[in-house]
């Protein structure tokens, strides 16, 4: 039987990878994307599959549209969000509207039509860890978000939990660490630095460059999402991570080396206000209870493949490059 899946945010980085991968791995699934096509979306990403995926341009906070689409689906996979911390510090309003009001709007439709819901969230809801702390985040870690972005994601998670408990909706939640891979917007750290080097611009490291992120390939994230949809317990939260802790300076040095540049050909710039020091995920629950395992175990090899992708897809990213760098230059000074 065909499963009708509504993918919110399916023209963005992780959502589009989810759509493209699902078309290959799940021939029984019929996909429809609801996406506002904000600056973060690139409709080009889905152009090659336009005959197989319906793209509805619209806002997840549009109650009438959302009700109509949810009434006609079996499962909602909710990726849509304002997703960039730096933007949330410059102007939080769209983050409150989309991440909180948008998620609320979806939950009300799911409640009315009794549709299965999977909510995509982030490890940033747990705040940060010290560099030398042996602890990692687990499903029991208390919420302690730092930025307007992460606090609105935390709020959206809590809305989902409340709708499960109060209204008995069939929902699961996943909180994943930092994703990398093809089709990621060039405002984000890894694609920004790759496309900087490819454009003859020196990579830019915030603060002292020692902040740690726990990298996971986007395909491993999306495989975990399907594992949770298929086998997860309703009402539960699962952390997704691939033991990929690397500090930012090492990431930049590796990109420079893979592109044949000197490892010190980067600049330090003004730090991000409230910059989280370290994220680290303990994904034992997902592995032990649901049997998920990551396939990308070699970060350097995954990064190298990602560099190749950006090198081979200049048409996809080059038109927006100058504007992204001009935006950063307006707020960030070189410090070293």
Active site residues: 123-124, 149
Q: Give the one entry of ligand TDX, ligand NAD, none that residue 225 binds, where binding means its C-beta sits below a cut-off of 5 to 8 angstroms depending on kind.
A: none
User: Taking CB under 6 A as the rule, does residue 178 contact ligand NAD?
Assistant: yes
Cβ neighbours for 131, distance < 8 A, ≥ 6 positions apart: 210, 212, 277, 278
Taking CB under 6 A as the binding criterion, the range among 10-18, 85-93, 162-170, 260-268 that sits at the site for ligand NAD is 10-18
- Judged by CB under 6 A, the residue of 5, 66, 81, 307 near ligand NAD is 81
Answer yes or no whether residue 151 interacts with ligand NAD by CB under 6 A.
Answer: no
Chain positions 94 to 123 lying near ligand NAD, rule: CB under 6 A, are 98, 102, 120, 122
Min dist CB 277 to ligand TDX, Å, is: 8
In angstroms, how far is the first alpha carbon of the chain from the final one?
59
Q: Could you give the C-alpha distances from 277 to 91, 149, 213, in angstroms and in order? A: 22, 16, 8
CA-CA distance, 173 to 228, in Å (whole number)? 9
Count of residues of this chain found to bind ligand NAD when the rule CB under 6 A is applied: 31
Contact between 179 and ligand NAD per CB under 6 A: yes
Per-residue DSSP letter, 320:
H
Cβ 197 to ligand TDX, closest distance in Å?
12
Judged by beta carbon distances under 5 to 8 A according to partner kind, the member of ligand NAD, ligand TDX, none in contact with residue 85 is ligand TDX
C-alpha triplet 158, 180, 121: angle, nearest 5°: 5
Q: Which is nearer to ligand TDX, 118 or 213 (CB)?
A: 213
Closer to ligand TDX by Cβ: residue 73 or 283: 283
Residue 3 DSSP class: E
DSSP one-letter string for 204-259: EEETTS--EEE-EEHHHHHHHHHHHHHHPPTT-EEEE--S-EEEHHHHHHHHHHHT
The CA distances from residue 125 to 116, 128, 175, 243, 304, in Å, are 23, 9, 8, 18, 29
- Decide which of ligand TDX, ligand NAD, none touches 127; Cβ closer than 5 to 8 Å per partner kind: none
Q: Rounded to the nearest whole angstrom, what is the least distance from the CB of residue 83 to ligand TDX in the complex?
A: 4
Q: Binding residue for ligand NAD (CB under 6 A) from 118, 153, 192, 278? A: 153
């Amino acid at each position: 039987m065909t499963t009708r899946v509504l993918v919110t945010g399916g023209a963005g980085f992780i959502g589009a990878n989810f759509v493209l991968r699902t078309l290959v791995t799940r021939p029984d699934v019929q996909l429809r994307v609801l996406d506002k096509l904000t600056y973060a979306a690139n409709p080009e990403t889905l152009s090659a599959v336009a005959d197989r995926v319906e793209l509805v341009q619209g806002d997840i906070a549009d109650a009438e549209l959302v009700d109509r689409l949810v009434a006609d689906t079996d499962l909602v996979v909710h990726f849509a969000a304002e997703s960039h911390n730096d933007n949330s510090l410059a102007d939080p309003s769209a983050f409150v509207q989309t991440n909180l009001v948008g998620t609320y709007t979806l939950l009300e439709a799911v409640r009315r039509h009794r549709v299965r819901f999977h909510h995509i969230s982030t490890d940033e809801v747990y705040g940060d860890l010290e560099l030398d702390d042996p602890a990692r985040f687990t499903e029991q870690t208390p919420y302690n978000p730092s930025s307007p972005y992460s606090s609105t994601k935390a709020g959206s998670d809590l809305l989902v939990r409340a709708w499960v408990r109060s209204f008995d909706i069939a929902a699961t939640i996943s909180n994943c660490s930092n994703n990398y891979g093809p089709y990621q917007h060039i405002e984000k750290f890894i694609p920004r630095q790759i496309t900087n080097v490819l454009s003859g611009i020196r990579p830019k490291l915030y603060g002292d460059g020692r902040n740690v992120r726990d990298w996971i390939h986007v395909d491993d994230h999306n495989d975990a999402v399907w594992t949770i949809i298929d086998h997860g317990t309703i009402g539960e939260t699962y952390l997704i991570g691939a033991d990929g802790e690397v500090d930012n300076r090492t990431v930049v040095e590796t990109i420079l080396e893979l592109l044949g540049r000197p490892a010190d050909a980067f600049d330090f710039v003004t730090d991000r206000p409230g910059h989280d020091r370290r994220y680290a995920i303990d994904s034992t629950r997902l592995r032990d209870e649901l049997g998920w395992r990551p396939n990308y175990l070699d970060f350097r090899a995954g990064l190298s493949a990602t560099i190749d992708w950006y090198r081979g897809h200049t048409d996809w990213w080059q038109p927006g490059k100058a504007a992204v760098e001009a935006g950063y230059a307006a707020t960030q000074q070189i410090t070293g």
